[in-house]
Amino acid sequence: MKICAVTMVRNDDFFLRRWVAYYGAELGMSNLYVYFDGKDQEIPEWCSGVHAVACDKIPGQVVEAEKIRLKFLSDRAAELLESYDLVIGTDADEFLVVDPDLHQSLAEFLGSRKIDITVSGLGVDVGQHKGCEKEIDGERPFLEQRKYGLLSTRYSKPSVIARPVTWGSGFHRIKGHNFHIVEGLFLFHFGYFDLKRIEARFNDKDRKAAGWTKHLARRARTIEVVSRKKALDWDRWTRFARIVQNLVRPPYAWNKPAMFNLDIVVRIPDRFSKII
């Protein structure tokens, strides 16, 4: 089965470097497609072997720009599906990970399953426990330094597609289609796993100009939740969250997952610590 991954970035080498390393190891560098938002962006040398293209900068404030961005990526994914069986679409701070207990690579896992339109990993929004976790060291594996996550409907995204579709803003849904969260697959989100990095994002002039400040402040809530709440057992509560999210929908969006607004914090097992 031929599988590729796509993403789009602007001023985000920190996460893109890790994204390229992870998905390159899982799928092969030649099966990665990275679009840089703006021709003023330089393509780094460590993107060698990747299909990397600098595009015209997407205009507008955050809501409008996100719609344009995801329409662009949906169109590119549709083109790629002429050559590939599956396309993975994520932001650069998101990583689809197979449970190490299954002893399968991402390609093996996805290739062994019948996927009609889309599958999702269970969303894990990784936080920073302020009581015991220090500033992130970019040279070390992320999950060696971060052990707590919030089980998040927001990040249970329909990231893997087998047919041309239109992703909604942020890859959070597929227009006109439901989703299915498969057992053994997780989407780890790292965008708000370090307080100092969040503060740096607040001060990024491009994000300020595009209206991201309130959005970033809301997401910082993850750090507060994982620092305050007792962490629960991973296997038991990820199973619970997967079942609930596969069954429950918010009344305003039938093609998004819901979980009764529960804040479930789990401790991420050590078996994941070297993966990302």
Query: In the prediction, which pLDDT does 205 show?
Result: 67
Q: Residue 72 to residues 55, 114, 156: CA-CA distances in angstroms? A: 10, 27, 21
Q: What is the mean pLDDT of the chain?
A: 93
pLDDT digits (tens, 9 = 90+) for 85-110: 999 999 999 999 999 999 999 999 99
Cα distance between the two ends of the chain: 24
Domain boundary assignment for the chain: 3-272
User: Once rounded to an integer, what is the mean pLDDT over residues 21-45?
Assistant: 96
Query: In the prediction, which pLDDT does 198 show?
Result: 82
Query: In the prediction, which pLDDT does 206 show?
Result: 65
